[in-house]
Amino acid sequence: MDTFIEYFRLFFSVALVSNLVLAKFLGLCPFIGVTKKTSSAVGMGFAVIFVMALASVATFAIYKLVLMPLGLEKALNIVVFILVIASLVQFVEMVVQKVSPPLYRALGIYLPLITTNCAVLGVTQLNLAFRDGSFGAGLLKSAIQGVGGGLGFLLAMILMSGMRERLDTLPLPKAMKGVPIAFVTTACLALAFLGFTGMA
C-alpha cells in the first residue's frame, strides 16, 4: 500500500515537475489560443481540471475492468478512450447548461474544445502506467494525476495570460507580435519550471 507521501509526490510531480504544458507539451493549442485574456484562461483551466479528473477515473476504470480482461486493451485503447472523453464532455456540457446557466455562459464555449484537447487524452494515456497494480490504488493514482495535471495546466495558463496581457503593450518587431513572442515567453516559463526537477 502506498503511503501518503507517494501520492503527494505524484501530485507534485504531475503539477509542477512534469507540468503538462511546459514539460510534456500537452494542451498547447488552448494554451496559446485561450491565454490572450486572463478571464478566459481561468475559465478554460477550471473546465479542463473538471473534465480531466472525470476522464482519468472513467477511462482507467473501463481499461482495467473491460479491456484488460478481454485482452483488447492494445487494440481498443485509443478508440474507447476518445469515445469516453467525447461522451463525458457532452454530458458535462448538458449538466452545466441545466444546473448553472451563468457558469455555462462563462465556460460553455470552451467545453467542446476540450474533447480535442490533447492534454486530456494525454493524461489518460499516462495513467496507463498504473495498470499493473491493484485496481483501487491505480484508480486513486489516476484521479490524482488527473486533478494534479489539471491544476498544473491552470497554473501555467494563468501565468501565461498575465504575461501576454503585458506583452501586448510592448513595442515588438512586427513579426514577433502575437504567437511567436508568446512561444519565446513560454520558453522562459518552461526554463523556470525546469528548476523543479530533482524535487520529486
Partner 1 sequence: MISLAPPLMPVLAAADAAPSPVGTVALSILVVGLLGAVFGIILFVASKKFAVKTDPRVEEVLGALPGANCGACGLAGCPAYAEGVVLKGLAVNLCAPGGAKAAKMIAAVMGVEPGESERRVSVLRCRGSRARAKERMEYRGVADCRAAALVLGGPKACTYGCLGLGTCVEACPFGAIVMGADGLPHVLEARCTACGRCVDACPRHLYVLAPEKRTVHVLCSSRDPGRATRAACEVGCIACKACERACKFDAIHVVDNLAVIDEEKCKNCGACVRACPQAIIGDFRKMRKALAASARSATNAGGEAAAS
Partner 2 sequence: MASLRREFVKGFTSEIPIFGLFLGLCPTLAVTTNLSNGVGMGAATLFVLVASNVIISAMRRWIPPKIRIPCFIVVIATFVTIVKLTLAAFLPDLDESLGIFVALIVVNCIVLGRAEAFASRTGVLPSLVDGLGMGIGFILALLLVSGVREVLGAWSVWGLPISQLKAARGTPGVDPIEILVQAPGAFLVLGFLLAAFALVRSRRVAVSRTADARAAIALEPEVGPAVAKRRKAEAAAKKKAAAEKQAQKKGPGLPTPGGEAPE
Residues that bind partner 1 (CB under 8 A): 62, 65-67, 69-72, 75-76, 79-80, 83-84, 87, 90-91, 94-95, 97-99, 101, 134-135, 169-171
Where do we find the cell 513572442? 181
| CB-based burial label for 75 (10 Å; 0-12, 13-18, 19+) | exposed
Is 187 among the residues that bind partner 2 (CB under 8 A)?
A: yes
Indicate the DSSP class of residue 65: I
Q: Report what 28 binds from partner 2, partner 1, none; CB cut-off 5-8 Å by kind.
A: partner 2
Q: Report what 25 binds from partner 2, partner 1, none; CB cut-off 5-8 Å by kind.
A: partner 2
CB 123 within 8 A of CB 138: no
Is 97 among the residues that bind partner 2 (CB under 8 A)?
A: no
Q: Which is nearer to partner 2, 8 or 78 (CB)?
A: 78
Tell me the DSSP string of 86-147.
HHHHHHHHHHHHHH-HHHHHHHTTTHHHHHT-HHHHHHHHHGGGG-SS-HHHHHHHHHHHHH
Is 199 among the residues that bind partner 2 (CB under 8 A)?
A: no
The rounded distance, in Å, linking the Cα atoms of 97 and 173 is 43
Is 91 among the residues that bind partner 2 (CB under 8 A)?
A: no
**Reduced to 3 DSSP states, what percent helix, strand and coil does the chain have, rounded to the nearest 5?**
80, 0, 20
Q: CB of 134: closest distance to partner 1 in angstroms?
A: 7
Window contacting partner 2 (CB under 8 A); options: 60-68, 100-108, 114-122, 162-170: 114-122
Q: Which is nearer to partner 2, 27 or 146 (CB)?
A: 27
Q: Which residues bind partner 2 (CB under 8 A)?
A: 22-29, 32, 74-79, 82-83, 86, 115-118, 121-122, 125-126, 173-176, 178-184, 186-188, 190-191, 193-194
